[in-house]
Amino acid sequence: MSLLRHSLVSNNFLLRLLLLLMLGLCCAGDLQAGWFRREPPRPGRTTMNDPVVVIPAQVISHYIIVTAKWDRRGPYNFLIDTGGSVTLVSPTLAQRYGVPVRDPRTGKTTSVTVRSAAGETASLDATTLRRLEIGEVVFETVPALVYDCNELSVHLGLRIDGILGFPLFREVLLTLDYPKSRVVLSKPGSASALVPGSTIPISTEMKSPIISLRTGDQSFIALLDTGSDCTLRLNPLGLGLPYAQEPRPGAITSSLTGDRRQTVARLGVNLGLGSYQLEKPVVELTDELTAVGGAVLSQFSITFDQENNLVTFYREQRGPILFPPRRSSGISVSKSGAYWRIVGVIPESPAARAGIEEGDLITRINDEPVEHWNTERFNTLVTQSEAVTFAFLVGKREYEMRLAVMNLVP
């Protein structure tokens, strides 16, 4: 099963990463070693020599990534996922620093069966990292699951060695400062929160940050999910919210547990995020938990205080957050070596009308081989262009076609 099916549809790529063990994901197996219960164990010790540690970061397609080097084999790149309830690490990192969790009866490595809200399952091996360093902060005895990040690395154009879940940062203040491309880790009680800002309560009972969004006199809960590059995944059940642009089929996206076609729309009302307003946001409809993704969160510096169950949003611009039209080339692909394979075509798109089909291969974009194109570059192209020229390979025949870029959601 291919993990990452990329959607060449917008300025975000709308990768839903993995479902990333967020609130909609739970343990479906019994771990005899007691490694993973409803409440994941704390790191054995979190050590900070300084009260505030500032770590440079990269923001790639609305994901925030930090680089760490604590041995001669580094550096290591980690994506921070507040929607993840556990840390994921590559097999290489697990082999170097992990101690496999074994079933005391059989001595075999424990595999954790994870289940999405839709009931789909996958299995990952459990391990405990002896040591993990981020900047000058040392985390010891870190529970993790082993996951091959290779396809994610291909998608982002950067080797990813692990995905850091929200519970890792329970004993520190975590500030994700997207505008300044940095992560700030602080000791609780230090004056590190970026103020003035809008501070609101969060619930962390399920080990992920849950807040309330508002519209009029109505409120509903949402996950703050930096492990997704979407704007807003909305479960509309029972809300009765109006649409400015009616729901329509979107791209094919993939996660750890399977593929699905998006349904996208634009709301006809504004949403309140603390004291900030999301003006008629573009949304992806879901039957899972509503979640605010990186395309919105990257507008802010965000400080998570898990000790006091608070989150502070800070943004220099006080006006409403606007959502431009979602642009699309009309096709979804998986990256495979020297080719991009089409895995979905948006109905009634220029690509569909041109007869593009699933299984077709793309060899070049605007006359450059596809291996020269990464996420950020293609996103910019789709956002700024009226059309894109693709070279397709069908059988042994290669041909070029110029496809108009569409406003999937005006």
What domain range includes position 142?
A: 19-186
> At 364, which CATH number?
2.30.42.10
The residue count of the chain comes to: 410
Average pLDDT over all residues of the chain: 84
Q: Is residue 256 predicted with pLDDT exceeding 80?
A: no
Same domain, 257 and 359: no
CA nearest to 312, candidates 174, 127, 151: 174
Same domain, 165 and 206: no
pTM of structure:
0.86
Confirm if 320 and 279 have CB atoms less than 8 A apart.
yes
Same domain, 302 and 203: yes
Same domain, 234 and 211: yes
Contact partners, residue 397, CB within 8 Å, separation at least 6: none
Domain annotation covers residue 2: no
Same domain, 243 and 160: no
Same domain, 81 and 117: yes
Give residue-wise pLDDT tens across range 46-104. 999 899 999 999 999 899 999 998 888 889 999 999 999 889 999 999 999 999 998 88
Give residue-wise pLDDT tens across range 199-232. 999 998 878 999 999 998 899 999 999 998 889 9
Domain annotation covers residue 192: no
Same domain, 74 and 111: yes
Torsion angle (degrees, nearest 10) of CA 218, 224, 228, 233: -10
Contact partners, residue 215, CB within 8 Å, separation at least 6: 241, 269, 270, 271, 272
HSE-CB at 276 with a 13 A cutoff on CA atoms is 25
